[in-house]
Structure 1
Amino acid sequence: MNEHIAGKVVVVTGAAGRLGQRVLHRFAREGARLAAVVHSAEQARRFQLPEQAEGAVFYADLTHEAQVVACFDQIQDRFGQVNVLIHAVGAWAERPLRELTLNEWHALLGANLTSTFLCFREAARLMQGQGGRLIAFAAMQGVDRGRARQAAYSAAKGGLVRLVEALGAELGSQGITVHAIAPSVIHYGEEKPTTGIAADQLVELCLWLCSPHAAALNGTTLRAYGSL
């Protein structure tokens, strides 16, 4: 059990996804109190927290402001505080420019950037006076250079990186640190990948960012490319 995590309220968005599941299980082993956020009421009814974990399940469409505000209010009512937010929500699509519709553009920016803004804003509101950690996932396309046929995704992840920088500068004086982790290709298998990075390695980075060892960092994006 991790003394820096045990008893802390850790909000994990995208909790039903593969990465969100890894985050939940790892932080549960370290004694965190978990607020797992999924997309819909149906998902929430079927969702199970890790065995013996302390926590609760919430739901919201994280691209809709009113739902996000209500969700974090419910988390506050249930736990009384929020110490860590790990935002594991996102969407990816590949489309040539001539075929990219405005709806698709808005959907990708909504899932990857707007959801991050809304969740960071509401979590930071609940961290006032106590500090905390805000962590999201960027991508190579938002850090190094955009990719062909991925204009919307690259723009969204690039915006996320700048959002993290701006909020790190704004919230640092309040004891809130803001970070992004930018993976290359994420692997979910048990074998060590020969390229890219294993999902469990990303989760370990999340744990490290929540520790005092990372307290001097703020507004940073960690390039978690593994073996390219």
Structure 2
Amino acid sequence: MQAFTSLDGLVAPLDRNNVDTDAIVPKQFLKSIARTGFGRHLFDELRFMDDGELGQDPDSRQKNPDFSLNQPRYQGAQILLTRENFGCGSSREHAPWALYDYGFRAIVAVSFADIFYDNCFKNGILPVSLDAAIINQLFDEVQATPGYRLSIDLAEQTVKTPSGQVLDFTLDPTRKRRLLEGLDDIAITLADADAIRSYEQVRIKQEPWLFEIPR
């Protein structure tokens, strides 16, 4: 997993509460367990005017001109700004996969659904929770300022606005370490590979019948 230390990125707004994982990546596209390729289906029902189906070429479909990600000023955005309870609904890990594959590396919101929040840290995305009043301010500034960017420093746990305002956010130390060092679940397990092998050798000697192959 790619480590996250700091990010200076263009901000794209998604002015909605309770965006669920089916809105992030609709169910008809969940046909793969690979982590790549889902970005083209991100917010499909919001981005396009028709009902999307697996295998369609996104370039051949009519885009919704009112949706922020379709507007030229937000192309290449790496930070998504949204509101309360982002990522609610089913626990599909495809949701952060789609966000990451599209290009988002951080999400700034009032709050997140618990499972989605945890899945972000396992997939290289930093979810930042800020007070509703601050989120309102950021939405106003994004709307008024084309090319609006935020600078996020994970080590310092700060978000800096173009005006120089510094916003602090809280984070669990273990989750923070995961992102700073780029550790997903597999990497964390492999860090104890020697201890796991030693344990297995002891088990083989103590209970060899558990490891016998039936004939």
Give TM class, smaller chain: 0.3 to 0.5
TM-score normalised by L of structure 1: 0.32
Say which structure, 1 or 2, has more relative contact order (CA 8 Å, 6+ apart).
2
Q: Which has the larger radius of gyration?
A: 2
Higher helix share: 1
TM-score normalised by L of structure 2: 0.33
